[in-house]
Structure 1
Amino acid sequence: MQIFKVGGAVRDRLLGLPVTDIDWVVVGATADEMLAKGYRPVGADFPVFLHPKTGEEYALARTERKSGRGYGGFTFHASPDVTLEEDLIRRDLTINAMAEDDQQNLTDPYHGQRDLEARILRHVSPAFAEDPLRVLRVARFAARYAGLGFTVATETLELMRQLSESGELQALTAERSWKEISRALMEDQPQVFIQVLRDCGALKELMPEVDALFGVPQPEAHHPEIDSGIHTLSVLEQAALHQQPLTVRWACLLHDLGKGLTPEEEWPRHIAHEHTGLKLIKAVNERFKAPKDCQELALLVGQYHTHGHRALELKASTLLELLQSFDVYRRPQRFEEFVVACEMDARGRKGLEQRSYPQADYLRGAASVARGVAVQPLLEKGFKGPELGEALKRERLKALKAYKENR
Structure 2
Amino acid sequence: MKIYLVGGAVRDRLLNIPVKDRDWLVVGATESEMLDRGYIQADGLFPVFLHPETGEEYALARRETKTAPGYKGFSVEYGPDVTLDEDLQRRDFTINALVEDEQGEVIDRVGGLDDITERRLRHITPAFQEDPVRLLRGARFIARLSKYGFSLAHDTFGLMKQMVTAEELAALKPERVWQEMSRALTEPEPWRFFEILHRCGALHTLLPKLAQAMGPDQPHADQPVSEPIKALKRSVAVGAEPIVRFVALFYGVCEGPGGSRWLTRCLPVKREYLDLLELLQGAARFYPPAARHDASATLDLLIRSRAQQHPERLNRLLMLGTILWPELGDGVSDWLHQANQAKESISPAALNEEGFQGADLGRVLRERQLKAIATLDESSVHA
The structure 2 residue matched to 1:282, chosen from 246, 257, 261, is 261
Q: Does 1:326 align with 2:320?
A: no
Q: Distance in 1 between matches of 2:22 and 2:108?
A: 17
Give the drift of 1:234: 1.5
Q: Give the gaps of 5 or more residues in structure 1.
A: 217-225, 259-273
Residues 214 and 175 of structure 1: is their aligned pair in 2 closer, same or farther, counting only changes over 3 Å? closer
Contact 2:214/2:227 (8 A) holds in 1? no
SS where residue 29 of structure 1 aligns? Answer: coil
Give the drift of 1:286: 4.9
Match of 2:341 in 1: 368
Q: Which amino acid aligns with 2:316?
A: E
Match of 1:183 in 2: 183
Contact 1:311/1:363 (8 A) holds in 2? no
Write the deviation string for residues 230-280 of structure 1: whole angstroms up to 9, x where unpaired. Answer: 12111111212222122111111110014xxxxxxxxxxxxxxx332xx35
Match of 2:74 in 1: 74
Match of 1:231 in 2: 227
Q: How does 1:235-274 map to 2 (within 5 A)?
A: 235-258=231-254, 274=255
Give the count of matched residue pairs: 373
Write the deviation string for residues 321-342 of structure 1: whole angstroms up to 9, x where unpaired. Answer: 3223323343332122111112
Residues 166 and 389 of structure 1: is their aligned pair in 2 closer, same or farther, counting only changes over 3 Å? farther
Match of 1:263 in 2: none
Q: Distance in 1 between matches of 2:339 and 2:56?
A: 50
Give the drift of 1:28: 0.8
Q: Which amino acid aligns with 2:87?
A: D
Contact 2:210/2:253 (8 A) holds in 1? yes
Q: Does 1:300 align with 2:279?
A: yes
Q: Distance in 1 between matches of 2:206 and 2:53?
A: 41
Q: Distance in 2 between matches of 1:100 and 1:280?
A: 50
Give the drift of 1:109: 1.2
Q: Distance in 2 between matches of 1:39 and 1:312?
A: 66
Contact 1:209/1:280 (8 A) holds in 2? no
Give the drift of 1:6: 0.6
Match of 1:405 in 2: 378
Q: Compare 305-314 and 9-18 and name the one that shifted more.
A: 305-314
Q: Distance in 1 between matches of 2:265 and 2:365?
A: 36
Q: Which amino acid aligns with 2:236?
A: A
Match of 2:219 in 1: none
Match of 2:201 in 1: 201
SS where residue 314 of structure 1 aligns? Answer: helix
The structure 1 residue matched to 2:366, chosen from 383, 389, 393, is 393
Write the deviation string for residues 207-233 of structure 1: whole angstroms up to 9, x where unpaired. Answer: 1111111239xxxxxxxxx97x71211
What RMSD over aligned residues (CA atoms) do the two structures have, in Å? Answer: 2.1
Give the drift of 1:54: 1.1
TM-score calculated relative to the size of structure 1? 0.86
Write the deviation string for residues 282-332 of structure 1: whole angstroms up to 9, x where unpaired. Answer: 33235321222112112222x235325335741123322322332334333
SS where residue 226 of structure 2 aligns? Answer: helix
Q: Distance in 2 between matches of 1:306 and 1:171?
A: 38
Q: Distance in 2 between matches of 1:170 and 1:357?
A: 44
Residues 24 and 310 of structure 1: is their aligned pair in 2 closer, same or farther, counting only changes over 3 Å? same
Q: Compare 7-16 and 37-46 and name the one that shifted more.
A: 37-46
Q: Distance in 2 between matches of 1:72 and 1:207?
A: 22
Contact 2:64/2:76 (8 A) holds in 1? yes
Residues 207 and 111 of structure 1: is their aligned pair in 2 closer, same or farther, counting only changes over 3 Å? same
TM-score calculated relative to the size of structure 2? 0.91
